[in-house]
Amino acid sequence: MSKTKEIPIPDKISGFTQVRIDVDLTDGKISKSTLSNEFCRDWIGGYGFASKILWDECPAGVDPLSPENVFIYAHGPFPATILPTSSKYGVFAKSPLTGMFGMAISSGSVGAQARRAGINMIVFKGKAPELSYMVVDDDDHYIVPCPELAGKGCWETEELLREEFQDQRLAVMAIGPAGERMSRMACITNDRNRQAGRTGMGAVMGSKNLKAICFRGTKGVKVAQPVEFYKLARKLIKVANGPATAKYRDLGTPAGITSYNKLGMFPTFNHREGTWEKIDDGTFTGDTLNNDWVVKKVACSQCSIACDHITKIPKTHPHWPNLYASIDVELCYSFGSATGCYDWPTVFKCVELCDDLGIDAISGGVTCAMAAECFEEGIITEEDLGYKLPFGSTVNLAKFTEEMILGKGFPGKIFGDGTKQAGIRLEEMGKKKASFYGMHIKGLELPAFDLHGMSSFAVGESVSIRGACHLRNGAYGLDAKGKFDRFAYDKPLERGKAIKELEDIYAIIDSYIICKFTRGIYENDAEMAKVFDLVTGIPVTDKFIQKRGDAILNLSKCFNIREGWTRADDHPPERFFKESHTKGPAKGVVLKEDGYQTLLSGYYEARGWDTKTGIPTDETLKSLGLDFVIGKLIPSGGKK
């Protein structure tokens, strides 16, 4: 690792516990090993750790739902310190939804409790003989069979385990019935309202008969330079409660509904349109949500922002009285605008079903939107469902959602594994063109941006290693803020470089792991490097972390290539090329295939990848210290 030699490593590093736990669920064997100082320096934390372990240990071409898949829990050096949003953790595996690098990040109390218990990473392999949960209670690590928890929702599971342990602050990562039945879009829920949602990590837990993981710890956390860290952390806490994060605190991310609607970027009716009259007239906005429905804002452990907006349906509601749900902009899109539903309680009910029964509420809502459009197009019928499901459904939408999650009836059978599988299954039934309505990239459902008039983000979202995602590089900002002409295809290399720069630092944020909402609280990357230095004692620099972000991104990309990725996988859904909006700022606009391909090549060039195939060159791999990958980028054909 020649490029990293300039960063010296002290004999003793802080922050990291450096404890790796290996759990073989098949035979119940649990062992412990030490992550080396070099490993911690070079792979930084969550995402970085997992990219290395999955490359090294996940068998190429493995069936994601087989015991051979590797399921990783990891956090970085910061949990349990007062660094804002430090209590985050990540889960990683080969994804059953995309067949590629799977990752999901969550928060709540899990990272802090796991850190205080003294672990850094858990690597699960095999499959438990019966439904079980894992306990990490300081130095006691054990597996408990729990057939009595079969079929329980995530919320009840958490409550029951907290009662069992007589500890209301036990951190519990749980799967619901959707995870148990291995729905490819199953999530993991912790602290009731926090989800490691994307890429079906809940299904991987289900495939291993792992119902839950419980953490609690009593070990104090020392940092390398306490006085300096305290000073910087206090400043960051203040800034994290200032203008840089106001949009996440006040109205929350739903503030974006209005602003993106104005730009024609807020997807409605399954991405048919990018604007909505229900937003224009104030029915479905962040303001209305907050004024009429939000009753409390709640924070994760050590978070200064408190973005979690809890809504309440009143006791007088005919269908779902007294229901509480945790809402952000993604869910206003997935179960709201994308399905054409502007009835707030319906949105809340659907989100509650997802969070409690355990599927990703983005994927879930987008899959419902596909179903609604298929219904409108006559691809599925009232006969299939037993009820109507046009755009704008309410009670029927909630009914469909529940059946889809639980795998019941036609909705469960066809739509229970997300849009990609639904398209395949419907086409197998002779329903031609069904896949056209599945809004996914690489199998992962789209987040709340409409790509018609977003030429930069069309690339940014498509190259995301985990499938359609706004959080791998945040390149939507390039379009929304007008850094480049969002309807044009000029400056391919400059755009590519801009995406790469964002992506590299996002890879560090996901390795640290901190919340992307705090990106703006750091003066620059140097200050972000400084907190790592103050906590761990490893004197990293901005240049170093940017380079490591680059390496981490490249290694997870290599994982995808080994699993059979090709350039064609970095492509937005056909709709954006074939059907335009009928109104709004992007009216009449479609993505142009040749223009898109030019920008995609520009991104590959910026990354030092072959501009034709999108595969990293040996030179690039060597410059990032990824020599061990060279010669092993042979597709296994394992993409599923």
Rounded (10°) CA dihedral 619, 624, 626, 630: -10
Report, in Å, the least distance between residue 314 CB and other proteins: 14
Go through 114-123 and write b for each residue having 16 or more CB atoms within 10 A of its CB, e for each that does not.
Answer: bbbbbbbbbb
Among 44, 58, 70, 80, binds other proteins (CB under 8 A): 80
Using rule CB under 8 A, residue 240 touches other proteins: yes
Angle at 511 between CA 509 and CA 515, to 5 degrees: 40
Residue nearer to other proteins on the CB measure, 227 or 568: 227
Closest C-alpha to 523, from 227, 105, 226, 242: 242
Q: Are 147 and 210 in contact (CB under 8 A)?
A: no
Among 295, 315, 316, 524, binds other proteins (CB under 8 A): 295
Among 262, 297, 425, 567, binds other proteins (CB under 8 A): 297
Report, in Å, the least distance between residue 475 CB and other proteins: 30
Residue 473 burial by Cβ neighbours in a 10 Å radius (0-12, 13-18, 19+): buried
> By rule CB under 8 A, what count of residues binds other proteins?
39
Query: Where are the alpha helices (H) located in 250-392, listed in sequence order?
Result: 255-262, 277-280, 286-292, 329-331, 344-357, 361-376, 382-385
Amino acid at 582: T
Using rule CB under 8 A, residue 244 touches other proteins: no
Residue nearer to other proteins on the CB measure, 13 or 279: 13
**Binding segment (CB under 8 A) for other proteins, from list 81-89, 334-342, 399-407, 458-466:** 81-89
Query: Where are the alpha helices (H) located in 386-539, listed in sequence order?
Result: 395-406, 409-415, 419-428, 455-463, 476-480, 492-512, 525-536
Report, in Å, the least distance between residue 274 CB and other proteins: 33
Site string for other proteins, 159-178 (x = CB under 8 A): ---------x----------
Residue nearer to other proteins on the CB measure, 217 or 274: 217
Q: How far apart are CA 310 and CA 296, in angstroms?
A: 5
Residue nearer to other proteins on the CB measure, 165 or 230: 230
Site string for other proteins, 298-337 (x = CB under 8 A): xxxxxxxxx---x-x-----------x-------------
Q: How far apart are CA 558 and CA 552, in angstroms?
A: 10
Among 74, 221, 279, 507, binds other proteins (CB under 8 A): 221
Strands 121-125 and 71-74: antiparallel
**Binding segment (CB under 8 A) for other proteins, from list 200-208, 297-305, 525-533, 538-546:** 297-305
Using rule CB under 8 A, residue 234 touches other proteins: yes
Report, in Å, the least distance between residue 302 CB and other proteins: 6
Locate 537 and state its tokens.
């004692």
Using rule CB under 8 A, residue 222 touches other proteins: yes
Q: How far apart are CA 109 and CA 117, in angstroms?
A: 12
**Binding segment (CB under 8 A) for other proteins, from list 203-211, 229-237, 367-375, 493-501:** 229-237
**Binding segment (CB under 8 A) for other proteins, from list 53-61, 78-86, 254-262, 479-487:** 78-86
Residue 22 burial by Cβ neighbours in a 10 Å radius (0-12, 13-18, 19+): middle
Report, in Å, the least distance between residue 231 CB and other proteins: 9
Go through 601-639 and write b for each residue having 16 or more CB atoms within 10 A of its CB, e for each that does not.
Answer: bbbbbbbbbebeebbbbeebbebbbbeebeeebebeebb
Residue nearer to other proteins on the CB measure, 18 or 109: 109
Residue nearer to other proteins on the CB measure, 303 or 498: 303
Residue nearer to other proteins on the CB measure, 81 or 536: 81
Residue nearer to other proteins on the CB measure, 228 or 610: 228
- Span 180-219, contacts to other proteins by CB under 8 A: 192-193, 218-219
Residue nearer to other proteins on the CB measure, 305 or 448: 305
Q: How far apart are CA 170 and CA 557, in angstroms?
A: 35
Q: Are 406 and 354 in contact (CB under 8 A)?
A: no
Residue nearer to other proteins on the CB measure, 128 or 513: 513
Report, in Å, the least distance between residue 443 CB and other proteins: 33
Among 51, 81, 132, 611, binds other proteins (CB under 8 A): 81
Q: Are 100 and 639 in contact (CB under 8 A)?
A: yes
Residue 30 burial by Cβ neighbours in a 10 Å radius (0-12, 13-18, 19+): middle
Site string for other proteins, 433-472 (x = CB under 8 A): ----------------------------------------
Angle at 128 between CA 123 and CA 131, to 5 degrees: 115
Residue nearer to other proteins on the CB measure, 162 or 491: 162
3-state helix/strand/coil string of 19-43: EEEEEECCCCEEEEEECCHHHHHHH
Using rule CB under 8 A, residue 144 touches other proteins: no
Give the gyration radius of the chain's Cα atoms.
23
Residue nearer to other proteins on the CB measure, 70 or 300: 300
Residue nearer to other proteins on the CB measure, 109 or 601: 109
Using rule CB under 8 A, residue 226 touches other proteins: yes
Angle at 453 between CA 275 and CA 447, to 5 degrees: 70
Q: Are 365 and 347 in contact (CB under 8 A)?
A: no
Residue nearer to other proteins on the CB measure, 209 or 302: 302
Closest C-alpha to 405, from 97, 131, 186: 186
Question: Interface with other proteins by CB under 8 A: which residues?
Answer: 80-82, 84, 109, 112, 116, 168, 192-193, 218-223, 226-227, 230, 234, 237-238, 240-241, 295-306, 310, 312, 324
